[in-house]
């Protein structure tokens, strides 16, 4: 079942999305296949620690209440923020084309997989685009690759990720906002439980992979207490993570539209404070983020965690100024 006859005014990615064939209709979520002009997207912000991003999927079924990426569906003229978690687009994958794109990058280039949507969301079990991409990474060498996920499905790929780490600097970041399962269920209704994510950290760390845990976002008066961060740091260290990082919540309009009704329902006593803090600016600046970083430093020190992972040079790192090709 496809979406029939898109309106004439739709162009570019919005037209492609409207014409995308439906891969499988489900009651809550629909899956579509989306053509991709290129798999790598260049990052223009100097503040971010990577030059290129890859997102195997558009939309994300995990439906986190604070998700900042909902605006990406607006590029496809889908303005209801709920559509981000109900209409999921798997990128049509061409391994040869992807390999050529990667080969065009300079040696040591930084690439982040899963910046806007989760590469191990439920669609990955069906379509495996992330796994297919990792198989291509395993056939070349010489990049700095970061993968971010909130899913224990990442442990499925432990052997493949081990191969990738022999050829690239690889960091896997598993996001855990809280170890409190009830709170996590409320905030991230369709994402795997925190204990399952931490079990995945254990599996990856036991295989010798560098895994960091990210507390993102830290939400004022919800998961920002020293007690909450300490419990997370303890669990991350026990699971074998080497580092812990955190980002304070920011609320762009598309996220604000979903987060505020959530607060009204679950934390009505916080609504006024959030309105005061976020109504005028999406980002909190100054004393609060500084206080969170100090608190984080304290719990990191207490549990022997670093700020980021230090990685030894990969066994098969190429020394020519070129991305290395390995025999398929």
Whose structure tokens read 């830290």? 218
How large is the C-alpha radius of gyration of the chain?
Answer: 20
Residue 223 DSSP symbol: T
- Applying CB under 6 A, what is the total number of residues that bind ligand SF4? 11
172 binds ligand SF4 (CB under 6 A): no
* Beta carbon of residue 313, minimum distance to ligand SF4 (angstroms, whole number): 31
- CA pair distance 83, 73, nearest whole angstrom: 8
* Cα within 13 Å of Cα(55), Cβ side: 16
Q: Which helix (H) or strand (E) holds 217?
A: strand 211-218
Measured in residues, the chain has a length of 328
Nearer to ligand SF4, 67 or 237 (CB): 67
Restricted to residues 135-164, the positions that interact with ligand SF4 (CB under 6 A) are: 150
CB 212 within 8 A of CB 241: yes
Nearer to ligand SF4, 18 or 69 (CB): 69
117 binds ligand SF4 (CB under 6 A): yes
Phi, psi angle pair for 190, to nearest 5°: -110, 5
Nearer to ligand SF4, 117 or 228 (CB): 117
69 binds ligand SF4 (CB under 6 A): yes
Among 30, 118, 152, 224, binds ligand SF4 (CB under 6 A): 118
Restricted to residues 174-203, the positions that interact with ligand SF4 (CB under 6 A) are: 188, 191
**Cis ω on the peptide bond leading into residue 217 (within 30° of 0)?**
yes
Nearer to ligand SF4, 110 or 115 (CB): 115
Considering only the C-alpha atoms of the chain, give the largest distance between any 2 of them, rounded to a whole number of Å.
60
* Beta carbon of residue 146, minimum distance to ligand SF4 (angstroms, whole number): 15
- CA pair distance 185, 37, nearest whole angstrom: 36
* Beta carbon of residue 81, minimum distance to ligand SF4 (angstroms, whole number): 11
256 binds ligand SF4 (CB under 6 A): no
91 binds ligand SF4 (CB under 6 A): no
* Beta carbon of residue 296, minimum distance to ligand SF4 (angstroms, whole number): 20
User: Residues 6 or more apart from 227 whose CB is under 8 A from it?
Assistant: none
Please, what sign has the CA dihedral across residues 71, 73, 76, 82?
A: negative
Per-residue mark of binding to ligand SF4, 45-64 (x: CB under 6 A) = ---------------x-xxx
Please, what sign has the CA dihedral across residues 192, 198, 203, 204?
A: positive
Q: Give a three-class secondary structure readout of 69-137.
A: HHHHHHHHCCCCCCHHHHEEEEECCCHHHHHHHHHCCCCCCEEEECCCCCCCCCHHHHHCHHHHHHHHH
* Beta carbon of residue 77, minimum distance to ligand SF4 (angstroms, whole number): 20
Nearer to ligand SF4, 254 or 324 (CB): 254
Nearer to ligand SF4, 122 or 314 (CB): 122
Nearer to ligand SF4, 118 or 163 (CB): 118
Nearer to ligand SF4, 63 or 240 (CB): 63
* Residues that bind ligand SF4 in the complex, under the rule CB under 6 A: 60, 62-64, 67, 69, 117-118, 150, 188, 191
């Amino acid at each position: 079942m496809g979406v029939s006859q898109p309106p004439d005014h739709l162009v570019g990615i919005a037209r492609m999305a409207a014409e995308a064939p439906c891969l499988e209709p489900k009651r809550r979520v629909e899956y579509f296949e989306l053509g991709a002009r290129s798999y790598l997207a260049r990052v223009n912000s100097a503040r971010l620690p990577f030059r290129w991003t890859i997102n195997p999927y558009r939309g994300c079924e995990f439906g986190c209440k604070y998700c900042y990426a909902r605006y990406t569906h607006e590029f496809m003229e889908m303005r209801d923020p709920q559509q981000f978690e109900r209409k999921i687009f798997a990128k049509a994958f061409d391994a040869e084309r992807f390999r050529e794109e990667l080969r065009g990058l300079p040696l040591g280039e930084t690439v982040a997989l899963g910046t806007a949507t989760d590469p191990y969301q439920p669609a990955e079990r069906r379509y495996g685009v992330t796994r297919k991409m990792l198989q291509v990474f395993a056939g070349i060498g010489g990049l700095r690759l970061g993968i971010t996920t909130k899913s224990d499905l990442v442990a499925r790929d432990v052997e493949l990720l081990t191969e990738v780490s022999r050829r690239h600097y690889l960091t896997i970041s598993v996001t855990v906002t809280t170890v409190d399962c009830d709170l996590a269920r409320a905030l991230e209704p369709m994402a795997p439980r925190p204990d399952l994510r931490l079990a995945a950290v254990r599996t990856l760390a036991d295989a010798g992979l560098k895994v960091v845990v990210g507390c993102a976002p830290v939400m004022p008066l919800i998961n920002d207490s020293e007690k909450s961060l300490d419990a997370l740091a303890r669990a991350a260290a026990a699971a074998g993570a080497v580092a812990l990082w955190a980002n304070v919540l920011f609320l762009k309009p598309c996220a604000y539209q979903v987060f505020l009704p959530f607060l009204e329902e679950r934390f009505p006593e916080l609504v006024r404070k959030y309105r005061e803090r976020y109504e005028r600016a999406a980002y909190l600046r100054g004393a609060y983020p500084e206080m969170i970083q100090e608190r984080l430093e304290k719990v990191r020190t207490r549990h022997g965690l670093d700020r980021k992972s230090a990685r030894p040079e990969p066994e098969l790192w190429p020394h020519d100024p070129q991305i290395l090709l390995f025999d398929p």
